[in-house]
């Protein structure tokens, strides 16, 4: 976790840190547009279905309009999943900024304050607030103490590729061990050239033998396996 990452950590009562990844303005705009589309579809279908009925249909339509305008997000945020369909499609969900599931009061507050975020036009204040803050909260999120996060976890690191285990040339610090194992875990994501290039930086740890790069990589992978516990 470097200062570049836009992560928020929240401490759980069990003494661990929950790592939350707040969602930025682009992902949230997509989610909002999808939701807007869904809302519009609901209203169009309802207006066709209820329009054929008598005035009772008109009343139901007005009530539905109110519900869709104000309470659509509240309803979905309180269901398991804590996300409107649009957010779910983009892979977002809403949490308290303590990492806890969202409470009804918080959901109500953050969605009523949409009216403030919307001003002066087209979510102007909301956008400014999101762009200024590292945790991308809009005004409603600030007041309610909520956070829109990416729900899924990305797997950047796979399991380590096989290599004959090999003891390092010298005792490695915990940090060095972690770096070497993390490097090996990224084998499938890095291009071979970059992978080799990084391996060369660690040559001193593997032992002095400046032969070709591919062998250095193999040896470092061996060290990584050794560090994991293979002998």
Partner 1 sequence: MTPLQFESRQRARWDELESSLAALEQGRKATKKASTGAPAPLDPAHFDPAHLAALYRAACEDLALARSRAYPVHLTARLEELTHRAHQVIYRRSDYGMARLKRLALVDFPQSVRAHWRYMLVAGLVFALPLFLLGLATFFDPGLVLSVHDAETARQFDHMYGPGRDPLGRERGADSDWVMFGHYIKNNIGIAFQCFAGGVFFGLGSLFFLAFNGAAAGSVAGYLTARGHGEAFYSFVVTHGAFELTAIVIAGAAGLRLGQALLAPGRRTRLEALKLAASEAAVLIYGTIAMLLVAAGIEAFWSSARWVSPAVKYGVGAACWVLVIAYLCAQGRPARGQHAQHAGHHAG
Which residues contact partner 1 by CB under 8 A?
12, 14-16, 18-19, 54-56, 58-63, 65-66, 69-70, 78, 80, 99-101, 103-106, 108-109, 112-116, 139, 142-145, 153, 155-160, 174-175, 177-178, 181-182, 185, 227-230
20's CB contacts (< 8 A; 6+ apart) are: 7, 8, 9, 10, 95, 97, 99, 147, 149
DSSP string of 97-136? TTSSBPPHHHHHHHHHTHHHHHTTTTTHHHHHHHHHSTT-
Q: Pick the closest to residue 77 from 44, 51, 110, 46 (CA basis).
A: 110
Spatial contact of 56 and 76, defined as CB atoms under 8 Å apart: no
Q: Pick the closest to residue 184 from 206, 166, 163 (CA basis).
A: 163
Is the Cβ of residue 155 or residue 208 nearer to partner 1 in the bound state? 155
Minimum CB separation from partner 1 for residue 136, in Å? 15
Is the Cβ of residue 30 or residue 61 nearer to partner 1 in the bound state? 61
Minimum CB separation from partner 1 for residue 211, in Å? 27
Is the Cβ of residue 86 or residue 126 nearer to partner 1 in the bound state? 126
For residue 190, the number of C-alpha atoms closer than 13 Å in the C-beta half-sphere is 18
Is the Cβ of residue 79 or residue 212 nearer to partner 1 in the bound state? 79
Is the Cβ of residue 26 or residue 45 nearer to partner 1 in the bound state? 45
Minimum CB separation from partner 1 for residue 219, in Å? 18
d(CA 75, CA 200): 55
Minimum CB separation from partner 1 for residue 228, in Å? 5
Minimum CB separation from partner 1 for residue 202, in Å? 15
């Amino acid at each position: 976790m470097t200062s570049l990452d836009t992560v928020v950590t929240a401490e759980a009562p069990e003494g661990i840190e929950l790592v939350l990844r707040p969602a930025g303005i682009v992902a949230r705009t997509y989610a909002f547009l999808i939701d807007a589309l869904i809302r519009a579809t609901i209203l169009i279908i309802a207006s066709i279905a209820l329009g054929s009925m008598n005035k009772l249909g008109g009343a139901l339509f007005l009530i539905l309009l109110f519900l869709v305008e104000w309470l659509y997000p509240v309803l979905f945020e309180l269901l398991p999943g804590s996300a409107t369909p649009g957010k779910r499609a983009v892979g977002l969900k809403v949490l308290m900024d303590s990492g806890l599931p969202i409470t009804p009061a918080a959901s109500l507050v953050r969605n009523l304050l949409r009216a403030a975020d919307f001003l002066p036009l087209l979510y102007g204040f909301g956008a400014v607030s999101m762009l200024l803050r590292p945790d991308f909260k809009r005004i409603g999120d600030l007041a309610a103490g909520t956070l829109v996060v990416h729900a899924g976890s990305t797997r950047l690191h796979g399991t380590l590729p096989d290599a004959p285990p090999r003891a390092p040339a010298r005792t490695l610090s915990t940090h060095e061990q972690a770096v070497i194992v993390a490097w090996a875990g990224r084998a499938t994501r890095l291009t071979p050239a970059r992978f080799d290039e990084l391996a060369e930086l660690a040559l001193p740890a593997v032992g002095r033998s400046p032969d070709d790069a591919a062998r250095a990589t193999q040896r470092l992978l061996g060290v990584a396996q050794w560090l994991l516990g293979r002998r």
